[in-house]
Chains A and B, each alone.
Chain A
Amino acid sequence: MPEPQANLDQVVASLRGETPPSGRGRLKVFFGYAAGVGKTYDMLLAARAQQKSGVDVVIGYVELHGRPETEALLEGLETLPPRAVEYRGVAIREFDLDGALKRKPALILVDELAHTNASGSRHTKRWQDVDDLLAAGIDVYTTLNVQHLETLNDAIAQITGVVVRETVPDAVFERADEVEIIDLPPDELLQRFAAGKVYVPAQAQQAMQNFFQKANLIALRELALRRTADRVRAQVETTGRGREPRRPWAAQERLLVCVSPSPTSARVIRTARRMAAALQAEWIAAFVETPATEGMSEAARQNLMRHMRLAEQLGAETVTLSGQSAAEELVKYAQSHNVTRIVVGKAARSRWVELFKGSLVHDLVRLSGDVELHIVRGREEPEEETVAATLPRRTPWGNYARMAVVMALSLGVAELARLAHLAEANLVTVFLLGVVLVAVRYGRGPGVAASMIAVPLYDFFLVPPYFSFAVSDVQYLITFGVMLVVALVISTLTARIRQHAEDARQRERRTEALYRLTRQLAAMSGRYQLVVTAQRELSELFGGDVGLFLPGRSGRLQLAPGIGLEDGVADSEADIAVARWVFDHGKLAGAGTDTLPSAKALYLPLVGPEGPVGVLGIRLPQGTERLLTPDQRQLLEACAGQIGLALQRTALAEQAQRVLVQVEAERVRSSLLSSVSHDLRTPLAVIAGSSSSLLESGDAQSPETRRELLQTICDETGRMSRLIENVLRMTQLQSGVITLKKQWQPLEEVVGSALGRLGKVLADHPVTVRIPPNMPLLHFDGVLVEQVFLNLLDNAAKYTPTGTPIQILASVEGEQAVIEVADSGPGLAAGEETQIFAKFVRGAAGSVQGRRGAGLGLAICHAIVEIHGGRIWAENRPGGGARFVFTIPADLQPPTVDAEADLPPK
């Protein structure tokens, strides 16, 4: 069975208030039984009291309905400007959620919790806006009428005859920190109504007249009071238990409600929810796919989808089962999941229909055993407008045409058989074969049609008198009858088997896909690899565009670059904003959901064991956004879970890697220090010795000696200066504080400046530079690359005999610029080529004397080339001498320089 959806569980849990997140705002509901009892008025009074005691109060949105006494209360309270929304050419004022979040008061007033926002708003419903406010730590005061509570909705419709479309999930009400009931005796309310003091929208005058009947009002008042009392009782219980962990599930009630596309199903679901709430039980909404539901129309599928969503919203766990018989599957599931009660709707169907089609209720009664059965009377209720079916479905007409061809062939074969004087039984068999083939290949409809056609064809062509429907022998009528029944049974059975095979294949494909995704993700390392894998697998599974949003360095969510499939999910800033919302709230949003449904893609939070790690965006092919079945959605969420885990794992691995690098850097630094201290002491000793000698006995020394000592001081100072420069550069590079200042520049210039700075050092070595005239501009940090040349040239001068030439060569090979500093000295010792770049580490052990500072220089070269994305290595030249080669990426197109004529005259 599918795993319970972790994500949904979290949402539901937080809706139930089981895990009150710290820093969440408090919700107070001013609860009334009808319009006009004074909810808004009382709310404003309470707000004023709060303000007086120093609370930062802002009015987010209040419906005044032109009541002056209410309006007077606004005086002195800050009011958030409403958002103007254009809806079908009419300017509508809406609550400005973003403005409120930006203003972030301590307490905000938002009237009419059940309000439905104009399309294009962030959420469909105002209670979702309020949820955002609470999540942001803002306290909220709001108003609500009893008939807007989701589960009381149809009960009230029955009482008053007025169907209320705007509803609030009961969980929102139950989770409210405080509920204040605003009560007014019905007589007084009726007086106010008669005096025109109750606001009534013009188009609802008539309905409201019916609504404001004393009997109605009494009933509504009772419901409101009872509902509040329930809440108080629940609170007492919770407090009494001290929020102890829930009882073990085995001892608990568990409900299973059967969902169907039937219009009565919504009512059944709401009833189940009420029962579950009363029993404090978990509940599960199940839909059973059976052969009978296969041919479901698009409209029916849409209804089913909506009912499953409704159940989800009301806090149910949803599952899709499949099997031969709905009743059997339900009971089997109930038994294996410790379900204590099954709730089903009773369809209003005639006895004949039941006899033919069977009755779920009867089957359940027969099979249910220990499980209690609750049957809810079905009653048609108006459905919301059905979204037009947009999923392109394979047209069956082609299959009917193919059926005709197959039947014609059967007829041909049978005709041949007849001419060959074969027994008539064979002719019938040929036809039945045709029917089976059609049912197997083209499904149930064509199969049944083939059975129907087979009889008249047989009669017309193969039964004497030929080419007439007349029958010479009455016995043939029996043949026809049996033939029809057999054909029908065979075609139905075959089609069913085929459907099952198809279902199994589908399921297997999904399991396989999930398995493959898991396996592939496990094998991946690095964020980019993960993103690419997720994109490829998910787009194969669901079609459409897939992208991952991951927090960047600054912690801000960004679209992760992948294989190009990500473009569709981040079309605009708005899409990224949706992704950020999902990331912050840990709930899914976007197309096909109730939050930000105008977004083009569906966004799911990627949650790792330690919290949110990113967001998955998936943009399904046009027209199928709303058609994700719960099954598919569960698969999608399971995938998201896997990706979340993998991302977390990668992040941890990267963190471990960083720690490793730090440890390494620390080790390098300490060995650097010990090696450097040696290298510093030598020139220092020379300088100190020479200068003290000059000071103490300078007068007695010959001018040549004095000059020699001074020159020594000068030279050693230069060496120390270079060493210190290298040490500083190295620590900068190691600590990562260096930021590359890459600019487009000719290589020649850096070579020139490096040669210029080394003038004296290179005085004894002829240097030739060979850079091709068509060498493109390269993108690098001039100061750092100059260091590379300085160190390589300095080394070349130091380790080669005086007078030997040094060459600098450059070329472009593929997407790399290859640069070489070659000398004609003794070359490198065997094995030295690879170790030389890490030499300073070895230098710490004191093994390399006489090559002071050399390893440090090469280590710097190595680090600089590496951060440029290049490679550096050393090798011996075939003709003797060593060469040091490094590469700099040349994969980008250098910028162009405008022709002189196009430049502004100066």
Chain B
Amino acid sequence: MSENPGLVLVIEDEAAMRRFLRASLAAAGFRVAEAENGDAGLKAAPLQPPDVVILDLGLPDMDGLEVIRNLRTWSEVPIVVVSARGQEKDKVAALDLGADDYLTKPFSVGELLARIRVAMRHAARIAAGGADEATQFVVGDLKVDLAARRVFVADKEVHLTPLEYRLVAILVHHAGKVLTHRFLLEEVWGPPYVEEMHYLRVYMANLRRKLEADPARPRYLLTEQGVGYRLVDE
């Protein structure tokens, strides 16, 4: 990635925030384009298609969700949303509209770069049509063999039920990204189950018991309270 520095479009109305992002992203080797409101952002994006969009949800001229909806009509560019804590509803709405991930203010540069990396990696995989997708996913002691549909913890095979495996496979497919409850329920159980949050929670608890050393302090299967789950990928 460092050979081909990506272009990051920052849509943010606070000048100080833009300054901080510009400095940190440039230091990490990215090129940065800036827009100070939604309208400018939507105009800038087609002219110079970015590799990642960082979008503040609280824009002066339009709802950040509107920007996502508009962008998604023509582009699959990864979008990372920035918002304050206590606005879980907005985060979920943004993710369900097609945003890739979110950052909660205040955030550190480390978190920001990690999100951007995951989003770009995922977009690259999609662009390659999935052919590029590894048949194996490994993080820490956890190994998922997608070809053989087998899961190992510390090289010991763990037996999963078909639904548990389906859940793990979806998480692996989107590793590093946060996935909303709704998305997971729809993907694993199907549309009639999107409101049955407790299904997902019970299965996630079972998975943690099977895959985590201490289910109450998960290393791999993280809960994003009020939003969804994330499978750690690094």
Contacts and interface: CB of A to CB of B under 8 A. Distances in A.
Nearest to A718: B106
A741 B181 CA distance: 14
B131 interface: no
B162 A769 contact: no
Given A729-B86, A782-B226, A903-B189, A752 B216 contact: yes
Contacts of B210: none
B205 A748 contact: yes
Given A786-B225, A900-B161, A903-B189, A749 B197 contact: no
B98 to A, nearest CB: 22
A904 B188 CA distance: 10
Interface string A740-759: 01011110111111011000
Interface string B190-207: 101000011101111100
Interface string B174-186: 0000000000000
Given A752-B217, A756-B222, A786-B225, A725 B199 contact: no
B22 to A, nearest CB: 19
A808 B214 CA distance: 13
Given A752-B217, A752-B218, A906-B190, A746 B162 contact: no
A725 B201 contact: no
A452 interface: no
A752 B214 CA distance: 9
Contacts of B215: 748, 752
Interface residues of B, number: 31
B135 interface: no
B201 A777 contact: yes
B85 A725 contact: yes
A717 B223 CA distance: 24
Contacts of A751: 216
A686 to B, nearest CB: 16
B86 A900 contact: no
A332 to B, nearest CB: 72
Contact of A767 (B188, B204, B217): B217
A625 to B, nearest CB: 45
A771 B224 CA distance: 21
Contacts of A903: 163, 189
Interface residues of A, number: 35
A728 interface: yes
B88 interface: yes
B166 interface: yes
Interface in A667-699: none
B216 A897 contact: no
Contact of B205 (A746, A767, A769, A782): A746
A767 B216 CA distance: 10
B140 to A, nearest CB: 15
Given A721-B106, A753-B224, A753-B225, A745 B198 contact: yes
A783 B203 CA distance: 20
A803 interface: no
A904 B208 CA distance: 24
A639 to B, nearest CB: 45
A878 interface: no
A755 B197 CA distance: 22
Q: Which of B86, B198, B214: most chain A CB closer than 10 A? A: B198
A755 B199 CA distance: 23
B223 A777 contact: no
Contact of B201 (A729, A749, A769, A906): A749
A99 interface: no
A897 B224 contact: no
Contacts of A906: 166, 188-190
Contacts of B225: 750, 753, 782-783, 786
Contacts of B201: 743-746, 749, 777
A744 B198 contact: yes
A767 B217 CA distance: 10
A714 to B, nearest CB: 8
A753 B205 contact: no
Interface in A448-463: none
Contacts of B190: 904, 906
B202 A746 contact: yes
A483 B223 CA distance: 100
A894 interface: yes
A895 interface: yes
A66 to B, nearest CB: 59
A769 B202 CA distance: 19
Contacts of B192: 904
Interface string A711-734: 000000100010001001100100
Most A Cβ at <10 Å: residue of B190, B192, B201, B208:
B201
Contacts of B203: 897
A777 B222 contact: no
B217 to A, nearest CB: 5
Given A717-B106, A753-B223, A755-B217, A725 B86 contact: yes
Given A745-B201, A777-B202, A769 B216 contact: yes
Contact of B198 (A717, A743, A786): A743
B57 to A, nearest CB: 16
Nearest to A755: B217
Contact of A894 (B86, B198, B218): B198
A583 B85 CA distance: 46
B217 A783 contact: no
Nearest to A750: B225
Nearest to B203: A897
Nearest to B105: A721
A773 to B, nearest CB: 8
Contact of A755 (B85, B88, B216): B216
B90 to A, nearest CB: 13
29 contacts: A728-B86, A729-B86, A743-B201, A744-B198, A744-B201, A745-B198, A746-B202, A748-B205, A749-B201, A749-B204, A752-B218, A753-B222, A753-B223, A753-B225, A755-B217, A756-B217, A769-B214, A777-B198, A783-B88, A783-B225, A783-B226, A894-B198, A895-B198, A897-B198, A897-B203, A900-B161, A900-B162, A903-B163, A906-B166
Given A746-B201, A753-B224, 17 more contacts: A717-B106, A729-B86, A744-B198, A745-B197, A749-B223, A752-B215, A752-B218, A752-B223, A769-B214, A782-B225, A894-B198, A897-B198, A897-B202, A904-B189, A904-B190, A906-B166, A906-B190
Interface of B: 85-86, 88, 106, 161-163, 166, 188-190, 192, 197-199, 201-205, 208, 214-218, 222-226
Across chains A and B, which 4 residue pairs bring their CB atoms closest together, nearest first? A769-B216, A753-B223, A744-B198, A783-B226
